[in-house]
Amino acid sequence: MASAAIGNFVGRPTNATHIFDRKIEFQPNSNGIRIVFFIGETTEQRTLKAVVNSQGWQFEKFESAREFLARPRPLVPSCLILSFSLNCLEEQKLLSRERSEVPIIVVSRDSDVRTTVQVMKAGAVDFLLNPFSSTVLLEAIRESFERSRRTLDREMETTDLRNCYGSLTRRERQVMALVVSGLLNKQVGGELGISEITVKAHRGQVMQKMKANSLADLVRMASELEQGRTAIHVA
């Protein structure tokens, strides 16, 4: 029986060609230096930049969320420091949704329970009340970098998986969809109108191109591909 996670994947084998077409644009950072982005007041920029640069990290300032989103995604761990204002909550939600690999640290000169709740619900990973010590800021940045690294690792693994899937022919994708649903080679052949020997040949190519070591491995890959597609659709 096919699992619920791959139900859509196996249900439309003839249309599988267009299922996982998400395109992600990254901007390489050849020196591997981690990046701290900043959107906020110029008065805060100097202090933040000095702290960031003291650690050997890169500092980039943007005037707006729109300008930041126009920048290609970095291939290194990063985070965004955002100055809080009531008018920026919707922008913060957008940033959190569109740049999930860039954790958001919100800084503010005023704070109350309601504001803190709003900020965290809008996707921030940390909320710092200004003035704060460099130690507190650096701790928040380092934790954000670690979150970013984990997200980037998952993104790269998924990208590699999609590339492997993209190398399959249309028939191989059909065979893969039916195989991971639990059908035997003979049943797959019956569904597609091809011989069992031909199914075995296609199945071997699928295993090789997907770099799968076993059927269970292939099922896991199909599930991850489907989950990625579902997440894109919901977003």
Last residue of a domain, one of 113, 132, 151: 132
Q: Is residue 156 part of a domain?
A: no
Q: Percentage of the chain surpassing pLDDT 90?
A: 53
pLDDT surpasses 50 at 60? yes
pLDDT surpasses 80 at 70? yes
* CB 112, CB 71: distance < 8 Å: no
Same domain, 55 and 88: yes
pLDDT for the residue 86: 57
More confident residue, 12 or 71: 71
Same domain, 108 and 185: no
Q: Is residue 194 part of a domain?
A: yes
Backbone dihedral angles phi then psi of residue 108, each to the nearest 5 degrees: -150, 155
Same domain, 120 and 46: yes
pLDDT surpasses 60 at 48? yes
Last residue of a domain, one of 87, 115, 132: 132
Same domain, 63 and 84: yes
pLDDT for the residue 57: 96
Backbone dihedral angles phi then psi of residue 169, each to the nearest 5 degrees: -75, 170
Q: How far is CA 86 from CA 94, 118, 184, in A?
A: 14, 9, 58
Same domain, 45 and 91: yes
d(CA 137, CA 157): 30
Q: Is residue 153 part of a domain?
A: no
Q: State how far Cα 66 lies from the chain centre.
A: 19
pLDDT for the residue 186: 95
Same domain, 165 and 110: no
Residue-number span of the structural domain to which 77 is assigned = 31-132
Structurally, the chain folds into a number of domains equal to 2
Q: Is residue 75 part of a domain?
A: yes
Q: How far is CA 2 from CA 83, 222, 230, in A?
A: 47, 11, 16
Q: Is residue 189 part of a domain?
A: yes
pLDDT for the residue 12: 41
Contacting residues for 199 by C-beta, under 8 A, at least 6 apart: 175, 185, 186, 188, 189, 192
Contacting residues for 108 by C-beta, under 8 A, at least 6 apart: 83, 84, 115, 119, 127, 128, 129, 130
- Band the pLDDT of 2: cuts 50, 70, 90: very low
Specify the CATH number for the domain of residue 115: 3.40.50.2300
pLDDT for the residue 19: 35
Contacting residues for 202 by C-beta, under 8 A, at least 6 apart: 171, 172, 175
pLDDT surpasses 90 at 156? no
Specify the CATH number for the domain of residue 190: 1.10.10.10
* CB 96, CB 104: distance < 8 Å: yes
Same domain, 123 and 45: yes
Mean local confidence (pLDDT), 74-93: 84
d(CA 131, CA 146): 24
